[in-house]
């Protein structure tokens, strides 16, 4: 049959099929994946429309019979799911991730389904799986049970950010050890030798990776071990911070905030103690810190937008691939955004700064 899609030169997609058949995109998905939810008459109308438009559900599909399947043994439907797992604030904390995924989905004429789930969602799988998706992106508290449950979809699955899986999974993540080394190197080059690390107690794997790499870099440089404040919450961080920074002669000159939630209260409390940044100490944070009416904090960009873009690009390749290979991890190198909170350390009392000769 002749291709009658609305845009000459473009292959028809699921949107064209839904419009021509006068049904929803979900109905097209149901029909192509032989799922309940549409009547036999509607299913046949969708299949006839696909033939008329010349719509091929997958690169390897040769017909539209019910037994025909594409890459990975299934019909593709142009539907991709984004699922924050057991983490209600995932999309709020990572708007750039979702924005990049949405942008690429639109550009490739894919429909994005937002399907947040909580642990123990297995009983809801029949409802979650009813659309017959092409692939799924997970973010949040992902472990083997989550991956195994979604494995029944027979569709490519990718995790963005940290996860707790023992089995190999396709993963896009920051190179956290490189983050730790970069943070120390940046402050070390400014002349800092006394460091304070602030992090949470094992709640997030990335903080452990950053801290270990930072300590190892200090050890390589022959520096003293840093003071580490492992805080249960923001309220407990402030008294510990005040005690540590109390003596100007021994207090650290550089603070590495690996938990961005404590950055704002630490800055506020520093002002109450009469300390100014970077006059009295420098601060470098992991994560974008926007504090209205305050100093611009020097930070390591978590590259959330880049994670979303790379994750979506990889998922699209997996969807069209017959042989996906062994799942692996793609690491994003870190970079520092200069702010107003990092500078050379304060000079000891009575000691003048060295004069720099003009060249």
Mean pLDDT by 10 residues, the chain (359 residues): 50 80 77 74 89 69 37 66 74 74 90 86 76 88 91 89 92 95 95 88 74 92 83 70 81 85 79 87 83 75 91 92 86 92 78 43
Neighbours of 24 (CB within 10 A): 11
To the nearest 10 degrees (0 to 180), the angle between helices 25-32 and 40-53 is 90
In a 3-state reduction of DSSP, which class is residue 151? Answer: helix
What per-residue confidence (pLDDT) applies to 300? Answer: 92
Any idea where the domains of the chain sit in the sequence?
14-73, 79-173+305-333, 176-300
DSSP H or E segment with residue 283: strand 282-286
| Residue that the structure tokens 């970079």 belong to | 335
On whether the CB atoms of residues 190 and 201 are closer than 8 A, the answer is: no
Q: For residue 145, how far is the Cα from the chain centroid?
A: 20
Measured on CA atoms in the order 221, 223, 225, 228, is the torsion positive or negative?
negative
- Strands, E, within 17-134: which ranges? 79-85, 111-114
CB atoms within 10 A of CB 153: 19
Residue 37: what pLDDT? Answer: 66
β-pair partners for 231: none
Alpha helices in the chain (DSSP H): 14-21, 25-32, 40-53, 90-93, 95-107, 125-128, 144-150, 176-189, 205-220, 234-244, 263-272, 304-319
Q: Which CATH superfamily is domain 79-173+305-333 in?
A: Response regulator (3.40.50.2300)
Strand-pair partners of 114: 82
Q: What pLDDT is recorded for position 310?
A: 95
From residue 150, give the alpha-carbon distance in Å to each of 10, 122, 319.
32, 9, 15
Residue with tokens 């590259």: 303
- pTM value surpassing 0.75: no
**Can you name the residues that pair with 196 across neighbouring β-strands?**
227, 255
Which helix (H) or strand (E) segment is 314 a member of? helix 304-319
What fold does the segment set 14-73 form as a domain? 434 Repressor (Amino-terminal Domain) (1.10.260)
Q: How many CA atoms lie less than 13 Å away from 215 in the CB half-sphere? A: 12
Alpha helices, DSSP H, located in 108-192:
125-128, 144-150, 176-189
Assess contact for 256 and 196: CB atoms under 8 A: yes
pLDDT at 218: 93
pLDDT of residue 158: 96
- CA-based R_g, the chain, Å: 26
Are the beta carbons of 127 and 145 closer than 8 angstroms?
Answer: no
Joined together, the tokens standing for residue 90 give 């995932």
- In CATH, the architecture of 176-300 is 3-Layer(aba) Sandwich (3.40)
């Amino acid at each position: 049959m002749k291709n009658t899609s609305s845009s000459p030169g473009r292959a028809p997609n699921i949107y064209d099929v839904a419009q021509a058949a006068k049904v929803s995109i979900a109905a097209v998905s149901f029909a192509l994946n032989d799922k309940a939810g549409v009547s036999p008459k509607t299913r046949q109308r969708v299949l006839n429309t696909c033939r008329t438009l010349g719509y091929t559900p997958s690169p390897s599909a040769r017909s539209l019979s019910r037994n025909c399947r594409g890459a990975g043994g299934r019909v593709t439907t142009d539907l991709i799911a984004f699922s924050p797992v057991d983490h209600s604030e995932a999309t709020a904390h990572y708007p750039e991730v979702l924005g990049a995924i949405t942008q690429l989905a639109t550009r490739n004429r894919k429909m994005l389904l937002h399907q947040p789930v909580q642990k123990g969602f297995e009983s809801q799988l029949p409802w979650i799986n009813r659309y017959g998706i092409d692939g799924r992106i997970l973010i949040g508290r992902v472990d083997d049970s989550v991956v195994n449950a979604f494995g029944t979809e027979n569709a490519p699955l990718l995790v963005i950010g940290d996860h707790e899986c023992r089995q190999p999974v396709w993963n896009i993540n920051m190179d956290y050890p490189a983050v730790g080394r970069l943070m120390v190197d940046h402050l070390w080059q400014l002349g800092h030798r006394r460091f304070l690390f602030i992090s949470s107690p094992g709640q997030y794997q990335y903080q452990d990776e950053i801290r270990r790499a930072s300590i190892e870099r200090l050890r390589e440089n022959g520096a003293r071990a840093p003071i580490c404040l492992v805080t249960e919450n923001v309220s407990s961080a402030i008294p510990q911070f005040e005690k540590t920074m109390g003596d100007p002669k021994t207090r650290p000159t550089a603070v590495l905030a690996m938990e961005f939630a404590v950055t704002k209260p630490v800055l506020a409390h520093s002002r109450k103690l009469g300390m100014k940044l970077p006059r009295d100490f420098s601060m470098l944070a992991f994560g974008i810190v926007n504090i209205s009416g305050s100093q611009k904090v020097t930070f390591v960009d978590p590259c959330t937008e880049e994670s979303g873009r790379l994750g979506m690009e990889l998922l699209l390749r997996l969807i069209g691939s017959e042989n996906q290979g062994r799942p692996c991890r793609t690491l994003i190198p870190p970079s520092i955004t200069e702010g107003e909170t990092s500078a050379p350390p304060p000079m000891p009392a009575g000691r003048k700064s060295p004069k720099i000769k003009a060249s």
